[in-house]
Structure 1
Amino acid sequence: MQHIDLVPTILDSLKLPAKPGLRGRSLVPLFTGNTIPEQGLYAEALYSRYHFGWSELFSLTDARYAFIRAPRDELYDLQQDAGERRNLVSERESTHLAMRSALERLTAGTRIDAPGDVSAEARERLRALGYVGVSPSPAASAPAALPDPKDKVQVLERYRAAIALVRQGKFDDALSNFRAIVADNPMMADVWSEIGGLALRLGRSEEALAAYRRLVEVAPHDPAALISVADTLLLLGRLDEARAQAALAAETAPANDARWRAKAHQTLAMIALARHDERGARAEAQLAHETDPTLPMPQYVEGLIRYNAGRFDAAAPFFEEALKSSAARTVQMPELRYYLGDALARLERYSEAEPPLTEEVRLFPHDLRARAALAMLYRATGRGDASDRAVDEIVRVAPTAEGRALAGKLRRMFRNQ
């Protein structure tokens, strides 16, 4: 049984006609004690193409042979070589051709499901924003023209080693490793994303911006790339540029990708707030909510407007409503719990403020503002040891100039109290 057999089986069991193009087979005869013809097991691996810029892989396995279609095909005799160590393509040409033909018949009439094609208009707008090296759609490149994943095993191991360094808190070493990888493999979108995120954690916003811009060029079909550029420009205070990037993301994100279209409008709302454009912020917040009804941006923005005006008592109910509305979301909103907790703490409602701040730190451990707010709450409620530990944690999770500066500021403030 294969995954591709599920839909034909369900349709058959419901007495519905099979849809054209389905590659599986119905298993209903097996339920009544009958048999079905033996069929090879089909598999595909597309991650390497869309995330690393390498060729995709397709395979077909029968009772004896495993065949992998790649830039350089592979064929293994499972009866004599279960570990698939000896490639027999050159030795068993007839079997190779038969397996390849069977695989091609199985996939005939189907196309690779690309993440999304980038229209000519969108490409022109990307170029107008300065993206001069925008890559073609991932589905546009012939597999034979792409690197064979089996030639990139060492690169993948270097990538995993760099990820391990991040987990160990060795950020500078990890960043150096990631940069070495893309120097030789510039189409690895995931690595550019890692560089951008890590540079932000290290407080190197300009470096992060450059990495995210490169990500857009490598993966223009990915709306997260443009939004990352917009968010970083917002952080840098370059609001006009940020708005242009986020607006393009909102317009070009696939119609069926509600999450990222909503995120684009969320970013546009935050840019409007930074420009003191409350009307624009409310409009973008509503668009975000209409795109993704689980995203409580209207309440969040109303809370931020009041929070920024120092009206913490008026802001807290909106944050509480937003938190309640977003409880069922798989991807939670960063900073929502921070703003709720900080507003309550400023009102000296410490017992109410502690749970959302604690939860913010749990969900987003690199949110330094939430950690600082929690340290101040502990100090205000007479828990000096807990406050000291919270400050120490800031340096542990952010062993950067920013983290050390924040911890030092808190320690000086606590000493002077």
Structure 2
Amino acid sequence: MFRSTVRLASFVIFILTLSAGSFAATKPNIILITLGSVRADHVGFLDTKHPTTNLDELAKHSIIFEHAYAQAPLTVVSDATILSGTYPQTHGTTELGSPLSAGIPWLPEVLHSRGYQTGAFVGSTLLDPKSGFAPGFDRGFDTYDATDRTTQMTHAVAWVTQKHAPFFVWVNIVLPGSSAYSAAVSSLDGAVGKLVNTLRVQKLFDDAIIVVTADHGEGLGAHGEDTHGVFLYDETIRVPLLLKLSGNQLAGKRIPTQVRTLDVAPTALEGAGIPVPSQMQGQSLLRIAKATTNTDLPVYSRSDFPQQAFGWSALESWRTGKYLYVRAPKPELYDLSTDPGATHNLAQTSKAILQTLASQLDGFDAHFSRGKNSEAQLTSSEMQKLASLGYVGLQKTPSSNTAADGIDPKDAIAIANQTLAAISDLQQGKVDKAIAGFQQAPIKQANIYLAQYGLGRGLAQKQRYAEAVEHLHKAIELQPDSTGANFEIGRALLKAGDLNTAAVHLEIAANRLPEFSEVHALLAEAYGKLGRKDDASRERAKATQGRGKP
């Protein structure tokens, strides 16, 4: 009897094991590729003047969404929307290092809970939680590899090759900064081809779900914007979007319907047969792809960057039907059916239409402000600490959802271009050139957080710590919620020997970025020199834990 029971139990376990394996095999692998700064009109499957061989080949096996729009023209903010299926004002992530809220749905976390192995391979320091940027982005990932662009794809290919189904991999590919734009997009296209070819060789392509989109586009001088981050016109907001389904369903179908990158996460989940969390605010595009009629989704986009970086007005846009409405101190209205380049502002001549769209945007703002995730801001005690250090007139980031007050970015875009060019020089290691750029008029005369922050960082890199502290101090007065400014001034003060003041700023940064190894290491150094041995030991342990994360 006992032996019979054992045999029966063994048989049941065997059957269950087979069933589990069969169930796992039915889950499609999911590959999400986000392209950095790629305009919709610079990929071949949307504009034949700009062929992209590998993307165009993938498009033959995919559903092509011809009018897809990002919800923000900034990498961290937009990718947070893509991975969470929530609007920027909901997930609260900003370019200031605001952590991703624990309550926000997160695609890798959902998939991990359903048995997926998860990996991320990002080629930008902006998406590296351990560098103080994109805090919380590594949630739900077994592997989060933020390496440089040249080795990123090699790591991604190796991971995909070694993993067993089902897996989810996010690969963020950035443009090489030293190339002309079209050449840079071609280089990026080659990287996509390398990954897709690996999937084919491993016989993983046909059954996989593959999503390709971009975080945002690039201004390239249109509307006066050289790069991105400020305006909400098509050149920076309209992006490519391909959806390859398991079995290559609906391959080659073109969808003219207006859709959002907000919809990527719900689409991936529904494609895998996984329930979409109710907190996600996008909707699956599968129903739109299979529909026989086209119904545009209204598209909301916003940029808080002009406000946070420059102290100007934020911007919001609302696309519905044939119109684009931009909420700004000087409102804008465009009929994109006759004016696709958005060059003829109808705000003064079509006031009834303007008011209708403004009312629709008011309703949207009112709805999505309820339960809004408040961006991480300094506590009252932290503000008091800063005040005790001599900071005056601290200007906290406005929490208003509206974008109609302050300087209109249209009137100051030249200053933004100059400042961002200097930031780019700093990121490329051209420190002397960057410092000279920040000190040029009219940047030098303007009260701009980003310029003060960038100049402070540059001076610190040249070991001109006293000057660096002066400018970083001003940056914090303009934007006390900036995690980066508090970290940078803490590091500069530590180098200059002002240990107590350094500790205050590093404590603020460490509180905001608990997984950022370097801030804990610097804080441990400050505490050690101050004789606070227990505190130093605690921070050293945190620094080691951070470095040990995958």
Compare the two structures and name the one with the higher strand fraction.
2
User: Where do 1:318-337 residues align within 5 Å?
Assistant: 325=548
SS of match in other structure, 2:325: strand
Further displaced range: 270-279 or 149-158: 270-279
> Between Structure 1 and Structure 2, whose CA radius of gyration is higher?
1
Q: Does 1:207 align with 2:467?
A: yes
Further displaced range: 206-215 or 220-229: 220-229
**After the TM superposition, which parts of structure 1 deviate over 6 Å for at least 4 consecutive aligned residues?**
none
Report the alpha carbon displacement of residue 139 of structure 1 after superposing the two structures with TM. 1.8
Residues 141/63 of structure 1: CA separation in 2 closer, same or farther (3 Å cut): closer
RMSD between superposed Cα atoms in Å = 3.2
Instruction: Indicate which of 247, 250, 258 corresponds to 2:514.
Output: 258
In 2, the alpha carbon distance for the partners of 1:114 and 1:184 equals: 32
Report the alpha carbon displacement of residue 210 of structure 1 after superposing the two structures with TM. 0.7
In the alignment, which residue of structure 2 is the partner of 1:54?
312
Q: TM-score, normalised by structure 1?
A: 0.60
User: Where do 1:199-278 residues align within 5 Å?
Assistant: 199-251=459-511, 253=512, 257-260=513-516, 262-275=517-530
Whether the 8 Å contact between 2:304 and 2:314 is mirrored in structure 1 is yes
Q: Does 1:27 align with 2:282?
A: no
In the alignment, which residue of structure 2 is the partner of 1:294?
546
In 2, the alpha carbon distance for the partners of 1:172 and 1:28 equals: 49
In 2, the alpha carbon distance for the partners of 1:26 and 1:141 equals: 26
SS of match in other structure, 1:61: strand
Report the alpha carbon displacement of residue 282 of structure 1 after superposing the two structures with TM. 2.7
Report the alpha carbon displacement of residue 135 of structure 1 after superposing the two structures with TM. 0.8
Residues 31/102 of structure 1: CA separation in 2 closer, same or farther (3 Å cut): same
Whether the 8 Å contact between 2:310 and 2:449 is mirrored in structure 1 is yes
In 2, the alpha carbon distance for the partners of 1:53 and 1:146 equals: 8
Q: Does 1:185 align with 2:437?
A: no
Whether the 8 Å contact between 1:23 and 1:106 is mirrored in structure 2 is no
Report the alpha carbon displacement of residue 44 of structure 1 after superposing the two structures with TM. 1.8
SS of match in other structure, 1:245: helix
Report the alpha carbon displacement of residue 134 of structure 1 after superposing the two structures with TM. 1.1
Gaps of 5+ in 2: 1-258
Q: TM-score, normalised by structure 2?
A: 0.47
In 2, the alpha carbon distance for the partners of 1:126 and 1:170 equals: 29
Q: Does 1:81 align with 2:342?
A: no
In the alignment, which residue of structure 2 is the partner of 1:38?
296
Q: Deviations over 1:62-117 (max 9, x none)?
A: 34222111122101122322221111011011111122222333333223766422
Greater RCO, 1 or 2 (C-alpha within 8 Å, sep 6+): 2
In 2, the alpha carbon distance for the partners of 1:107 and 1:87 equals: 23
Whether the 8 Å contact between 1:212 and 1:229 is mirrored in structure 2 is yes
Q: Deviations over 1:120-152 (max 9, x none)?
A: 222112111221221123325963332211111
In 2, the alpha carbon distance for the partners of 1:156 and 1:294 equals: 35
Residues 182/119 of structure 1: CA separation in 2 closer, same or farther (3 Å cut): farther
Q: What is the percent sequence identity of the aligned residues? A: 23
Instruction: Indicate which of 358, 363, 366 corresponds to 1:108.
Output: 366
In the alignment, which residue of structure 2 is the partner of 1:134?
394
In 2, the alpha carbon distance for the partners of 1:116 and 1:27 equals: 32
SS of match in other structure, 1:108: helix
Residues 208/50 of structure 1: CA separation in 2 closer, same or farther (3 Å cut): same
Further displaced range: 31-40 or 9-18: 9-18
Q: Deviations over 1:278-333 (max 9, x none)?
A: 665333201334xxx332xxxxxxxxxxxxxxxxxxxxxxxxxxxxx58x5xxxxx
User: Where do 1:330-345 residues align within 5 Å?
Assistant: none
Report the alpha carbon displacement of residue 169 of structure 1 after superposing the two structures with TM. 4.8
SS of match in other structure, 1:144: coil
Residues 101/83 of structure 1: CA separation in 2 closer, same or farther (3 Å cut): same
Q: Which amino acid aligns with 2:396?
A: P
Q: Does 1:171 align with 2:432?
A: yes
Compare the two structures and name the one with the higher helix fraction.
1
In 2, the alpha carbon distance for the partners of 1:220 and 1:234 equals: 19
Instruction: Indicate which of 322, 328, 341 corresponds to 1:70.
Output: 328
Instruction: Indicate which of 413, 419, 428 corresponds to 1:153.
Output: 413
Report the alpha carbon displacement of residue 205 of structure 1 after superposing the two structures with TM. 1.2
- The count of residues paired between Structure 1 and Structure 2 equals 288
Further displaced range: 90-99 or 138-147: 138-147
Residues 25/278 of structure 1: CA separation in 2 closer, same or farther (3 Å cut): closer
Whether the 8 Å contact between 1:182 and 1:192 is mirrored in structure 2 is no
Q: Which amino acid aligns with 1:94?
A: A
In the alignment, which residue of structure 2 is the partner of 1:384?
none
